[in-house]
């Protein structure tokens, strides 16, 4: 527990990592308010908020800055934005 995260199955981390991932993916995909995944998982709203916040922080960690993304995009022939291929005009 040196990382500051509670052990799976403890009072503070009731759901398994897989169930947490499903909860977060459902929230990110559907944009559900926190009460819906909380009710579905049997967790509190604050717990669901924390699960989502932790997952977003992990996903955002290796992300490029806006400046890096624009610089990289300038060297490419096309980009995929939100699942749609967008050709670039040079």
pTM for the model stands at 0.59
- The whole-number pLDDT of residue 31 equals 80
Write down the pLDDT at residue 38: 85
Please tell me the distance from the alpha carbon of residue 18 to that of residue 21, in angstroms, as a whole number.
5
Rounded Cα distance between 23 and 19, Å, is 6
Identify the pLDDT of residue 62: 87
pLDDT, position 42: 85
Return the pLDDT at 88.
Answer: 64
Q: Which are the contacts of 19, defined by CB distance < 8 A and separation ≥ 6?
A: 41
Across the chain, which has 90 residues, the per-10-residue mean pLDDT values are: 54 77 86 82 87 89 87 81 67
């Amino acid at each position: 527990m040196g990382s500051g995260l509670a052990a799976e199955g403890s009072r503070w981390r009731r759901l398994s990592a897989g169930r947490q991932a499903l909860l977060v993916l459902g929230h990110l995909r559907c944009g559900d308010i926190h009460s819906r995944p909380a009710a579905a998982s049997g967790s509190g709203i604050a717990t669901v908020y924390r699960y989502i916040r932790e997952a977003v922080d992990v996903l955002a960690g290796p992300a490029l800055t806006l400046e890096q993304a624009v610089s990289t995009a300038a060297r490419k022939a096309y980009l995929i934005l939100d699942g749609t291929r967008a050709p670039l005009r040079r």
